[in-house]
Chain A
């Protein structure tokens, strides 16, 4: 028996009168194909949804958030929302404060400075954006002033980081310490050996509920020093976390942690 062509089966599934209809009475195979295409069409109808314009203001928040990624001398976003974009962070190649910081402090790189604001939750980010001009300006002044003094390193807070997760059994406990150098707070993470990972290791600070987190940067050596954002309240982000992040372009925490511990006095 000759089966019906695909096109006829689809037409029958959509309720079009087609020449092949009588064949269905005799052929379970074609009948079940029509049924299956019909339920696909039904499911399609149920799953379809019309586009819904997002409320005004959503684009402005997106524009403000991506503006924190852009260097100050890059082309400014030429959009309606861009007028709400706050001034860029002070630690940019064109900023005198950034050059002074680079020469005076060994470990702060522009990349770290730009990167470090990236991963607040949406709410924290909006607040950070609104306040960034004022906060950033005062931070820059403090840095420049203190650079003229003697470099000093003062222990502020430390933590033992316990191994956890899949890689936990293969690593030994790590240490983290917050130090102050040239007016800049740094988190120093010390491990006995770096584990082999599929991706890279990323250092985070989490709040106590693990609801908000901020990425400090990549851990690629046994002693890694990372700059802390000037306006970050350590009491609000007391947990140090090191995660394995795949190279997938996804900026959020992978959920795959290797070490974690709480900072204490």
Chain B
């Protein structure tokens, strides 16, 4: 619903709602990648980018949360690029190279899994998201989940199976892409 509101009429108020919904996620992701003080800047840069890129958001290509996590991924990468530039590029000639070399930072790599999981969780939507969280993170049985969501056990199992495979495929893709 927020995705549609954002696509149709992205007012500052809709941005604030998106911030309330996903700001904590972006901050947690950034805190995994850098000190909290820098992470605050990344949150700010992410939502300012979200605002300024609002016309390029297409709800048909995915939910707003996934798009925001993708932008957070780039702002986190920018942070590491900027760090390389300050260490290497007093001579401005080397700036472009330093920006390019920002990719593949080991600390950044450690964050990639978290980003991928959050992006994918935003993509798969409900009820798969709740089901996979309950089953994997909270270690609930399929019977328990079926009962609490008032859903047939077979349906829960098939959602779970698809969500797990989807996560696995996504990880394989990102590996193929970075290799």
Binding site for B on A (CB under 8 A): 6-11, 13-14, 16, 36-37, 40-41, 43-55, 58-59, 61-63, 65-66, 69-70, 75, 77-79, 81-82, 118, 122, 164-165, 206, 208-211, 239, 241, 248-253, 255-257, 260, 262
Contacts and interface: CB of A to CB of B under 8 A. Distances in A.
A36 B51 contact: no
A82 B78 CA distance: 28
Contacts of B80: none
A37 B48 CA distance: 38
A58 B42 CA distance: 10
Which of A14, A65, A75, A118 neighbours the largest number of chain B CB atoms within 10 Å of its CB?
A14
B13 A78 contact: yes
A72 to B, nearest CB: 14
Contacts, number: 167
B164 A41 contact: yes
A258 to B, nearest CB: 10
Interface in B40-88: 40-41, 43-45, 47-49, 51-53, 55-56, 74, 78, 81-82, 85-86
A70 to B, nearest CB: 8
B136 A241 contact: no
Given A7-B161, A44-B137, A239-B92, A52 B27 contact: yes
A9 B74 CA distance: 36
B11 A75 contact: yes
13 contacts: A6-B162, A7-B154, A7-B161, A37-B168, A44-B117, A47-B117, A49-B28, A51-B24, A122-B41, A206-B92, A250-B74, A253-B99, A260-B93
B45 A122 contact: yes
Contact of A250 (B27, B28, B49, B116): B49
A164 to B, nearest CB: 6
Interface string B15-27: 1100100011111
Contact of A52 (B19, B28, B116, B154): B28
Given A47-B114, A52-B31, A241-B92, A62 B44 contact: yes
B44 A165 contact: no
B3 interface: no
B76 to A, nearest CB: 13
A142 B75 CA distance: 38
Contacts of B48: 62, 65-66
A55 B40 contact: yes
Given A77-B16, A253-B99, A54 B86 contact: no
A197 B92 CA distance: 22
Contacts of B45: 122
Contacts of B105: none
Given A44-B117, A54-B40, A58-B43, 11 more contacts: A6-B162, A41-B164, A51-B27, A51-B28, A77-B12, A82-B12, A165-B96, A206-B92, A210-B92, A249-B56, A251-B53
B167 A66 contact: no
Contacts of A37: 164-165, 168
B113 interface: yes
Contact of B27 (A47, A53, A70, A248): A53
A58 B23 contact: yes
Interface string B164-175: 110110010000
B161 A6 contact: yes
B34 interface: no
A54 B85 contact: no
B47 A209 contact: no
A40 B165 CA distance: 8
Nearest to B28: A52
A122 B44 contact: yes
B7 interface: no
A78 B14 CA distance: 10
